[in-house]
Amino acid sequence: MSLLLIISSILLRLLPHLPNFTPLGASALFSGANFNKKCSVIITMSALLIGDYLLLYVNPFSTKPFDFSTIYSPIALFHSTTTFVYLSFLIYSLIGIWISHKKSINRILLGSVIASLQFFLITNFGVWATGMYGRGLDGLLQSYIMGLPFFKYTILGDLFYSTLFFGAYEIARKIIPKPKPALEVPIA
């Protein structure tokens, strides 16, 4: 199931979509809520790294969506705000762990909104901190204001994909019977 989550998170990022309306945040929440901590981090970082690398070659918003004319080094993935983005996705996984302590629809929805908010705050702070806006509070405020349209889509994407992932998982749990434990045969 973890491989399916990674592959779907990557492929859905490569299709044309609204800005920041991707399954990656919901995937991190879901993996944090349903897998052990180490596995959750591996799933999240794998989907993020592989997806980011493929996005160097596949641009769903371009008139030429596939461009393999240049081979990029994996180092090309890292830019001035990468640390902030990756840190934020690790926090998504931690919020997923919080969801796992008492899974409910309300907790999943609240976790999705909190996760979207922390992504907005951390990544736009990163944009400001790396000098893309003025150094003062005015620059920080401008960074947050410019990020608002993306924030809207982040929330919508996280809520949509969280509903999809958590909902599909619960439906599958109800439909697919649990394997019966093997009979123990006493050894004489």
Q: Which residues contact 124 (CB under 8 A, 6 or more apart)?
A: 143, 144, 146, 147
183 occurs within a structural domain: no
Q: What's residue 121's pLDDT?
A: 98
Contact 32, 94 (CB under 8 A): yes
188 occurs within a structural domain: no
- The position carrying tokens 């003025």 is 134
Q: Is 145 helix (H, G, I), strand (E, B) or coil?
A: helix
Q: What's residue 73's pLDDT?
A: 76
Confidence of residue 155 (pLDDT cuts 50, 70, 90): very high
Q: What's residue 126's pLDDT?
A: 96
Q: What's residue 9's pLDDT?
A: 83
Does residue 179 have a pLDDT over 90?
A: no
11 occurs within a structural domain: yes
91 occurs within a structural domain: yes
184 occurs within a structural domain: no
181 occurs within a structural domain: no
- Cα dist from 47 to 32, 70, 71, 127, 157, whole Å: 14, 22, 20, 22, 16
Q: What's residue 50's pLDDT?
A: 87
Q: What percent of the chain has pLDDT over 70?
A: 91
Q: What's residue 76's pLDDT?
A: 75
Q: What's residue 58's pLDDT?
A: 75
Of 29-33, 164-168, 175-179, the least confident: 175-179
Q: What's residue 79's pLDDT?
A: 83
Q: What's residue 72's pLDDT?
A: 73
How many domains does the chain fold into?
A: 1
The domain in which residue 62 lies consists of 2-175
Confidence of residue 101 (pLDDT cuts 50, 70, 90): very high
Confidence of residue 169 (pLDDT cuts 50, 70, 90): very high
Does residue 102 have a pLDDT over 80?
A: yes
171 occurs within a structural domain: yes
Q: What's residue 65's pLDDT?
A: 66
Q: What's residue 61's pLDDT?
A: 66
185 occurs within a structural domain: no
Phi–psi pair at 58, nearest 5 degrees? -120, 115
Which tens digits make up the pLDDT trace of 12-61? 887 878 889 999 999 999 999 999 999 999 989 999 988 888 887 777 66
Which tens digits make up the pLDDT trace of 114-134? 999 999 999 999 999 999 889
